[in-house]
Structures are given as structure tokens and as C-alpha cells.
Structure 1
């Protein structure tokens, strides 16, 4: 990535290609990833290992649509990026076709002119009273 604000589109493109090597290339070798279920892994190999089986099965027909919220520069070579992400899954998912919205926080750093993700956390939007997943359109977000 040539700029930190390219992260949402790059993540979306890698996800939608279902090429986990491409997804892994967005991260620094020692990066951390917390998925929407709170599963924490460290390192590109572990990030790929976490995603490859679901892209071969329940997310094989999934797509992501990401939307940049903001970029907060914390140094010339470091930034925090927030973006909305809508995961749409198809018939490969046991629950059938549906959509899930999440909010992603990514910390990116630039080394040798290239921005990569150092840490990423993905949080599912839910109703705090019921735990039911909600779509951000229904909240006016």
C-alpha cells in the first residue's frame, strides 16, 4: 500500500479474491489480528492459517465492502485507520445468505516506503441489550 488510507480497499480486494497469500501480504511479518469473534493471532502465517479454512468453506462465496471512516496520523510512518466493513455471505454459509457489519481498527506503519498493517481488530456491530448482530444502515451510521 502506498498510503495508509488504501488499507480498506486493499483488504477488500484481497478478501474478495479469496487469496489468503494476498491478504497476508498486507501485514507486517509480526502483525497481530483479532477477528470478530475475539480470536487473536500473531504473525502472517497465523493470519493466513486463521482465514484459509473459512475461505475454502463457509466464506468461499463471501464478499466484503469496506468504507473508510478516518485516518489518524500518529507519526510520519504510523497511522490508525478505522473503516466499516460489510461481509455478505452466500449459500456456502450454514446460516444461509446474510450480511454482517463490523468496524475495523487497523494500525499501519510504513517501512521502506510501503504501508502494512501492524495490528488489526474487527468488531461486530451488535445490539448491546440482546447481542443480536445489526446492520449499520438500521442505526443510521
Structure 2
């Protein structure tokens, strides 16, 4: 990634290619990742280990479409990024084909000239009264 704005597309490409090494390459070695269910892991190996099993099973035929919302610089070598993410699950998912919308919040830093994610949290859009997943308009 040459700039923070590249992160949503790079994440999307790694996901859609089901390439967990490419996904891991987007993160600093000491990065944290919080998935949409609130599970937090630290380190690239743990991020890959969290994603690899689902990409070989329930998300093996899934596709992701990310849309950049905003990038807020917090210095020359750090930025906060927000993006929408729409996950389209296929027949491999136990619930069958369906769509899930989430919001990514990521902090990216530049180390040794390379922009990578140091922290990412993914939140499923849900109705606060019922907890039912919602799609954004």
C-alpha cells in the first residue's frame, strides 16, 4: 500500500482471492484485529490463523466489496481510516447465500516507508433495539 487510502481495495483483493498470506501482508507484525463478533487477536500469524479456516469453509465462495468513507491523518506517518464493507456469502455458508454489511475502522502507520495496518476493528451493522443485522442504504 502506497497510502492509507489503498487499504480497503488491498483488503478486498486479498479477501476475494482467499489469499491469507496477502491478507497478512497488509498488517504490521504486531497488529491487532477485532472481527465482527468481537474476537481480538494480535500478530500477523494470529490474524491469518483466524481467517484461514473460514476461507476454506463457510467463506470459501464469499466476496467482499469495500468502499472508502474517510481517512483522517494523525501525523505524517499515521492515519485513521473508515470504510464500508459488504460481504456476500455464497452457498458454502450454513445460512446459505446472504449479504452482511460492516464498518471497518483501521489505524495505519508508516514504518520503513511502508503503510500497513496496526489495528483494525470490524463492526456488523445491526438494529440497536433487536440486534438484527441490517444492510446500509
TM band (smaller chain): over 0.9
1:67-86 pair list within 5 angstroms = 67-86=67-86
- Residue correspondences, number: 137
Instruction: Report how far residue 5 of structure 1 moved.
Output: 0.5
Q: Deviations over 1:83-129 (max 9, x none)?
A: 00000000000000000000000000001211000000000000001
Task: Note the residue ranges of structure 2 that are not aligned, 5 or more in a row.
Answer: none
1:49-60 pair list within 5 angstroms = 49-60=49-60
Residue equivalent to 1:16: 16
Question: Normalised by the size of structure 2, how large is the TM-score?
Answer: 0.99
Residue equivalent to 2:4: 4
Task: Note the residue ranges of structure 1 that are not aligned, 5 or more in a row.
Answer: none
- For residues 23 and 132 of structure 2, the distance between their equivalents in structure 1, rounded to whole angstroms, comes to 29
RMSD across aligned positions (CA): 0.4
- 2:74 aligned counterpart, secondary structure: strand
Residue equivalent to 1:33: 33
- For residues 77 and 14 of structure 1, the distance between their equivalents in structure 2, rounded to whole angstroms, comes to 24
